[in-house]
Structure formats: structure tokens, C-alpha cells
Chain A
Amino acid sequence: MRAIGLFLKGTLLMLLACDAAAEEVFELRIREHLFQPSRLEVPAGRKIRIRVINEDPSPEEFDSFALNREKVILGRSQAILYVGPLDPGEYPFSGDYHPDSAAGVLIAVPVKGKRGTHAD
């Protein structure tokens, strides 16, 4: 039973690793209730991963109606958001716990243009 469990865990980890390797990772930081960068360029038409790092001691909720994503990130921790493939355009997001300050835009650009640059 233990061997079967180890085998299943190993297979799952391998699958996750393969899947992870196929996606680009972009970083978004929350510092003093502000998203940095506030404008993040990502490639359109591809699945991407956004690593949201909350450097503040308090939790924040990454909320985006356009991206259909809502995720709480506890203080001094990080989380991965899976997004895409996105059509070219702008996708606003905000911090639901601090809506007056935490806000930003995800800009999906066609692949032939800029790739994954941080515009802030």
C-alpha cells in the first residue's frame, strides 16, 4: 500500500512538474497595499502562471472580474495564479481588502510584440 502511495505521489509530482515547465511565470508583489508592477505585460494566447508575493503582514485578496480569478494570499506568503490563454487586451485587477489602493492591470500582448516585460 505504501509503495502504491509513493508511486502515485511520484507520478503526480512528475505530471505537475511537466505542466509547470510548460508555462511562463510572472511575478507580482504586494507591498504596502500596492501591486508592483501595477501594469504587468504578459503574452496573449498562452497559459501563464503569476506568482503573487504578499510582502505585507496582512492578507490581501487578488480579485479580477475580467480574469475570473479571486484568491486570498495570507500575509508574508505567496501563491500561484493560473491564467490564460488570454486574448490581447487589458485585464484590470484589484486587492479586494484594500480596494482604494491595491489596483493594477494585466496587459496581454500578441506574442510577436513585447514578451513578458514589466512595464513599471
Chain B
Amino acid sequence: MLINTVMVCTRELLPILLLLSALMHRVRGNTPYFLLFATANGLGLLLAVTPFLASLAALAEGNGLEFLFALCHAVSLLSLMLSLVHRWTLLFSVASVTAMTLLCGVNLVIYGLGADTRGVGSEGFWLGIVLATGIGLSIAVLWYQLLAEVSRLWTPVLGLVLAMMAARQSSELYKLFQQLDWIESVSPLWNSASLLREQSEVGVFLQALLGYEASPTPLQLLIWAMTLAAMMLLARRKGETV
């Protein structure tokens, strides 16, 4: 169904569009170069990787894609941190978005491969992508404006938002390591699905922004909080303002 395609595509595109919105504040003055290089690099890598997806997925007992996704999250996280300690802010911001573009792009390509079997066909898939992009861009523009307005009243807001996005990368890395059995599975601390489902509209937005999990484990929460704290400290050291 078309609505399912729009929802899945929106869920995939939202994290990268929110990241782009936030980083555009940081790279002010270089925005055209940032958008150009981030988009071109991400799409270029995606085109390079797509022909080898099947071979990649078959590695490590069918967990090859998880390795790729973990690499993308790690590069994005590291780039966000390095953008705070190094003067090459533009370069690391581009690297962060490139990694996320590759990750989201691979998911969308795989989803698109089965479009015919879901009754939407390739035309329906592309229509879904266009609609999802429109929805995502609308949210991203509103988010950009909101950050601009709030930062006038409270300057550390950009640092906080990017810290939450970095913490999201850590949380996603944890989930992938758990999936690969590199981290023991343990019982979650709580289950807030009855209050806020991950698949709801707010749940999808919060997942894209800060990695919202309805049932986080203690270690996952700890890693998330430590990454958030580290990013806030680095931002404070840099004197992060907007």
C-alpha cells in the first residue's frame, strides 16, 4: 500500500534531514558547499555500494549489512565529535551526513527492491519516496527555523540537539552490536510503548532526533547518556554558540 511506503520512507529519511537541518546552523557561510558535498558524497557511495548489496548482506552469516550500518553510525558519531574538537567543522559535518545518507539510502534501496510484491509497483514506490521527501523536508525546514528562533533565547540549544543526535548514533550502535551477539541481551529497564509507541508519529520523530526506545536496556541508556554528556562537554569547551 502507498501509505505504508510513505511511512517507511519517511522513517528512513527523517534522521538524515533533521541532522542536515541542525548542521546547517553550524556550517553557516558554507551552506551551499555543505549541502552539495554531503549529498554528492552520500549518493556517490550509495551508487558504488548498491551493486554489491547481495554479496555484502551474505557476509558473516547474513549479517553483513549490520556491519555496514554499524560502520555508518560509528563514522557519523565520530565525525560529530571531531567537528567539536577540530577546526575542520565543514569536513566532519559532511562526513557525518555522508555516512547517514549511505545508511538510509541502502535501507530505501532494499525496500524498493520488493515494491512490486507489496502491490505498489515501481511507480508507487517512487511516488512514496517523493511524498516522504516532501513530508521530511517540511519537518526539516520547520525544525531549522525552530532551532534558529530558540537559539536566540538560549544559545546552547544547537549543542544540545547535536549531542542528542550523537547519542542516537551510540544507541543505534548498541542495538546493532546486540543483534550481532557482541553484547548480551538483557531485560529492558521499562516499557513505555503504552505511553508512546515507537511507530507513532511522535515516536518516529523522537527516534530520528534522539534515538527514542520504548524498551531500553540499562547499558543502552548508560551509553546514550555518556555520549550526550561527552558531546555537551566538548561543545562547552568549544564555546558552541549559534
Which of B57, B111, B178 contacts A68 (CB under 8 A)? B178
Task: Point out the residues of chain B lying under 8 angstroms from A69, CB to CB.
Answer: 179
In the complex, the answer to whether A80 meets B113 with C-beta atoms within 8 Å is no
Known: A59-B111, A98-B117. 12 other contacts (CB 8 A): A57-B117, A58-B113, A58-B116, A59-B113, A68-B215, A72-B110, A79-B57, A81-B179, A82-B179, A82-B181, A82-B185, A99-B4
Contacting B at CB under 8 A, from A71-118, are: 71-75, 77-85, 96-99
A75 to B115, CA, bound (A): 12
Contacting A at CB under 8 A, from B180-197, are: 180-181, 185, 188, 193
**A60 in the interface (beta carbon within 8 A):** yes
Contacting A at CB under 8 A, from B198-226, are: 198, 214-215
Which of A47, A52, A70, A74 contacts B57 (CB under 8 A)? A74
In the complex, the answer to whether A79 meets B63 with C-beta atoms within 8 Å is yes
**A55 in the interface (beta carbon within 8 A):** no
Per-residue interface assignment for chain B, residues 168 to 183, with 1 indicating a CB less than 8 Å from any chain A CB and 0 otherwise: 0000000100111100
CB nearest to A71 among chain B residues = B179
A71 to B54, CA, bound (A): 14
* Complex A-B: 14 CB contacts under 8 Å: A58-B116, A59-B113, A60-B114, A77-B54, A77-B58, A79-B61, A79-B62, A80-B62, A82-B181, A83-B185, A97-B114, A97-B118, A98-B117, A99-B4
**B65 in the interface (beta carbon within 8 A):** yes
Q: How many A-B residue pairs have CB under 8 A?
A: 69
Say which size band chain A's interface belongs to.
Answer: 20 to 34
**A33 in the interface (beta carbon within 8 A):** yes
CB nearest to B117 among chain A residues = A58
The 5 closest A-B pairs by CB, nearest first: A79-B62, A58-B114, A82-B181, A80-B61, A58-B117
Which of B4, B114, B193 contacts A59 (CB under 8 A)? B114
Report B121 CB to chain A, min CB distance, Å.
Answer: 13
CB nearest to B197 among chain A residues = A65
Which of A82, A97, A99 contacts B180 (CB under 8 A)? A82
In the complex, the answer to whether B110 meets A84 with C-beta atoms within 8 Å is no
A78 to B59, CA, bound (A): 10
**B53 in the interface (beta carbon within 8 A):** yes
In the complex, the answer to whether B118 meets A72 with C-beta atoms within 8 Å is no
Task: Point out the residues of chain B lying under 8 angstroms from A47, CB to CB.
Answer: 181
A24 to B31, CA, bound (A): 53
Task: Point out the residues of chain B lying under 8 angstroms from A84, CB to CB.
Answer: 185
Task: Point out the residues of chain A lying under 8 angstroms from B57, CB to CB.
Answer: 72-74, 77, 79
Task: Point out the residues of chain B lying under 8 angstroms from A68, CB to CB.
Answer: 175, 178, 185, 188, 215
Task: Point out the residues of chain A lying under 8 angstroms from B4, CB to CB.
Answer: 99
Report A62 CB to chain B, min CB distance, Å.
Answer: 11
A83 to B58, CA, bound (A): 19
In the complex, the answer to whether A74 meets B61 with C-beta atoms within 8 Å is no
A107 to B57, CA, bound (A): 28
CB nearest to A57 among chain B residues = B117
A52 to B67, CA, bound (A): 18
Task: Point out the residues of chain B lying under 8 angstroms from A77, CB to CB.
Answer: 54, 57-58, 62
Task: Point out the residues of chain B lying under 8 angstroms from A80, CB to CB.
Answer: 61-63
A33 to B175, CA, bound (A): 26
Which of A56, A73, A99 contacts B62 (CB under 8 A)? A73
CB nearest to A72 among chain B residues = B110
A33 to B180, CA, bound (A): 25
